[in-house]
Amino acid sequence: MLDLNSPIADLNRVGKTTAGQLARLGIKTAAALLEYFPWRYDDYTRRTLIQDLRPGRPASIAGRLEIIQSRRSFRRRLHLTEAIIADQTGTVKIVWFNQPYLGQNLRIGEFISLAGPVEGEPGSPVMKSPVYEKISGLDEKAAPGLHTCGLVPNYHLTARLTQKQIRFLIKQAVSVTDHLPDWLPAEIIKIENFLPRAAAIRAVHFPANAAQLEKARQRLAFEELFLWQLKNISVRARWQNQPAEPIPFQSGLIKNFVRRLPFRLTDGQKLAAWKIFQDLDKDRPMARLVEGDVGCGKTVVALLAMLNAAAHQRQSVLLAPTEILARQHFETFKKLAGADSSLALLTGGQAVWRRPDEKSPDAKTGKKDLLRIIAQGETKIIIGTHALLNERVRFNRLGLAVIDEQHRFGVAQRQALVDKNGADGFCPHLLSLTATPIPRTLALSLYGDLDVSIIKDQPVGRKKIATFTVPEEKRSGAYRFIRQEIDRGGQAYIICPLVDFSDKLGVKSVKEEYEKLDKEIFADLSVAMVHGRLHAREKEKIMADFQAGRIKILVATAVVEVGVDAPAATVMMIEGADRFGLAQLHQFRGRVGRGLRQSYCLLFSDSQNDKTLERLALMSKYHDGFTLAQMDLKFRGPGEMFGTDQKGFPEMKVANLFDYALMKKARAWAEKLFAQDNHLSVWPRLAEKFASEDLDIHRE
Ligand code: ADP
Ligand code: MG
């Protein structure tokens, strides 16, 4: 007998290979299979009669197999299976390609159900490569198909698993849902009128109709948001329970520093800084998130806070997600902080100490020396990457931890950083920075563990980045344009989705594109390439060369997405743009327009799909990341689950983050329960679920 903990291999028709494929999706038990939700549904709720088939309109039909025959087409190197299906209204031709076993599988006289695209001419439609399955008959009593009628679930799969296979397996697993524990407190289920967990799980896989699917989604989305909120509340409570040393506002020093900056702070920057200074002066640790669109100037706000801590003899640390960014922050700090401060840079590949008043170039100390310098408190401001989380790193009176691009780090890493404070008994203040475009109301409930400051304004004089979706036939024009920009002193980024050539996906890869651009199109210019598989040091060198203008065109993957600053770059060209979320495209676009000159973003896409092109066109019209992120979610097709696959947002399987009403409800319940019993011991199943979940669901 199957139960929830049954290993996946106990299911019918799961051999070693299939079990291995499932394991790659993280599915090892029947229970895990049940939690693997579809991401969209094919709507085959209405059967079409054969006489009503119309080319261009996908359909689901049922009928009797009249004729089936296979042949080889040598010219096209294809194996063709052709069949005729009949129902009471007529007959239709079916064609399958390269499925030679079909001829043995299907017998004349059998009833089959089919679903798929309809082609051919009006009056003589043809179904090409439909999904098919045998059914017991054509009348009402016949069992409905699993793959070809109703709302048919589709799952994200690895290459070797098929939709049919996984549906067949989930159908088996669904038989044990009656034993599924419902960890949501009964009180909530009753008052909110939610489906019980077992019913919701069954319905999300095999919904009887759209209304039932919606109820299942509500329940599953709620529990996701509820756990998230519960976690936020408990993280915050734990955080604020610790003592922190107040760091008073060093007014004279900060005002002096601000006066010497080469620019005027925007109102948003001033306000965020002011809030931070107030937080720092408290005896509970700050937990503040500064959110602002790319280029709004979050770094200098962090620098102000760090200088303030240094003036109070407290160390502060800035954690960046990549080596390139850490290096860039180090350079910025050097430039802005002036000669009187001591700075350290520690990354996987670099250990640099810059002493106060040092006129000579930076001392490349050994890592060991730098660790000693940090541990003894000889330097107050430390910048680095994950390398800072290494156990050998010890801080000295750490008063402030800044996390740049906070969505790239989990709560655990945040904690690891502040835990390094050693024995002084105080918890450092925490400042997180993010460009993830989330409006205030949402940010407050989403990041309930943090206080939020939003920098809305951009420095004066910044221009909008003129954005165009460029049709393929104007490609050479686009290259001419890039050349023109470079002649005028500009530089260009060209972003491609993949590293290697991938015929299957038909998307431009960095290597392929680089070869073409370097050898043919821009043979006389310096072109370079960066991607995630290069060594950090190589990447570093290329980025430095690009920043210094020695490289004119940089062909890259998404690695350039965060924070890199090359003020002379004026063109951002993106291949396969439809493969990125709009918020992500907006982040790419934020890499240009950092100097004074007008900048441009050129989007290319192979897609012929009107919807896709319409979606990309939004990039020309809207210039703030939040609007774009929200519109992107609206652009999902019908029958798609919400969930989030946008960078920078917490990962949700079912919940739509823009569903404020449900979010608020989840928040209210989490607060209520937590206030009643912060150990959750009144609800043992919830407590167990909460403890077992790896709720650290921030993602890259
Ligand atoms: P982000 O918020 O995306 O991290 P940065 O902090 O990297 O942005 O700032 C982007 C650029 O804008 C940097 O070159 C920075 O020196 C500059 N900058 C920051 N604040 C201002 C300002 N108030 N006026 C003009 N330029 C500014
Ligand atoms: Mg930044």
Ligand 1, atom 17: nearest CA belongs to which residue?
Answer: 297
Which protein residues are within 6 Å of ligand 1, measured from CB? 263-266, 269, 292, 294-300, 435, 459, 563, 565, 594
The total number of residues shown for the chain amounts to 700
Structure confidence at residue 499 (pLDDT): 58
Distances (CA, A) of 621 to 254, 293, 463: 39, 17, 14
Q: What is the pLDDT of residue 21?
A: 86
pLDDT band (50, 70, 90) for residue 698:
very low
In this predicted structure, what is the pLDDT of residue 422? 59
CA dihedral over 8, 11, 14, 18, signed as positive or negative: negative
Tell me the per-residue pLDDT of 555-597, one tens digit each, with 9 for 90 and over. 998 766 555 678 899 999 999 898 888 878 888 898 898 878 8
Task: Give CA separation, 298 vs 304, 555, 634, in Å.
Answer: 10, 27, 29
Q: What are 159-194's pLDDT values in tens digits?
A: 688 899 999 999 999 988 888 889 999 999 999 999
Q: Can you tell me the distance from the alpha carbon of 197 to that of 218, in angstroms, rounded to the nearest whole number?
A: 11
Q: Note the pLDDT of residue 598.
A: 93
**Average pLDDT estimate for 355-382:** 82
User: What is the Cα 485 distance to its own chain's centre?
Assistant: 32
> Among 35-44, 412-421, 540-549, which is the least confidently predicted range?
412-421
Which pTM value belongs to this model? 0.74
CA-proximal residue: ligand 1, atom 13 (nearest):
297
Nearest ligand to residue 332 Cα = 1
Please say whether the beta carbons of 700 and 693 come within 8 A: no
**Which listed ligand is nearest to 565 at the C-alpha?**
1
Mean pLDDT over each residue of the chain, to the nearest integer: 87
- What's the pLDDT score for residue 620? 95
pLDDT digits 0-9 by tens, 89-125: 999 999 999 888 888 889 999 999 999 989 998 888 9
Question: What is the distance in A from the centroid of ligand 2 to the CA of 488?
Answer: 27
Tell whether the model's pLDDT for residue 418 goes beyond 50.
yes
In this structure, the residue with its CA closest to atom 19 of ligand 1 is 297
Band the pLDDT of 65: cuts 50, 70, 90: very high
pLDDT at 460 exceeding the cut of 90 = no
The first and second tokens of residue 27, run together, are 């599915």
Q: For residues 110, 114, 119 and 123, what is the CA-based torsion angle, rounded to 10 degrees?
A: 60
For the chain, give the percent of residues with pLDDT over 70: 92
> Lowest-pLDDT range, 69-78, 595-604, 673-682?
69-78
Residue 441 has pLDDT above 50, yes or no: yes
Distance CA 667, CA 593 (A): 39
Decide if pLDDT at 24 tops 60: yes
pLDDT above 90 for 355: no
Domains of the chain, first to last: 1-44+157-180 (1.10.150), 46-148 (2.40.50.140), 251-455 (3.40.50.300), 466-622 (3.40.50.300)
Nearest to 41 by CA among 164, 177, 206: 206
Residue 335 has a pLDDT of 87
Strand bridging mode 491-495 / 59-73: unpaired
**With 50 as the cut, is the pLDDT of residue 383 above it?**
yes
Which is the closest atom of ligand 1 to the Cα of 590? 3
Centre of ligand 2 to C-alpha 301, Å, is: 11
Tokens representing 145?
Answer: 């198909």
Give the closest ligand to the alpha carbon of residue 318: 2
Q: In whole angstroms, give the CA distance from residue 323 to residue 327.
A: 6
pLDDT at 49 over 70: yes
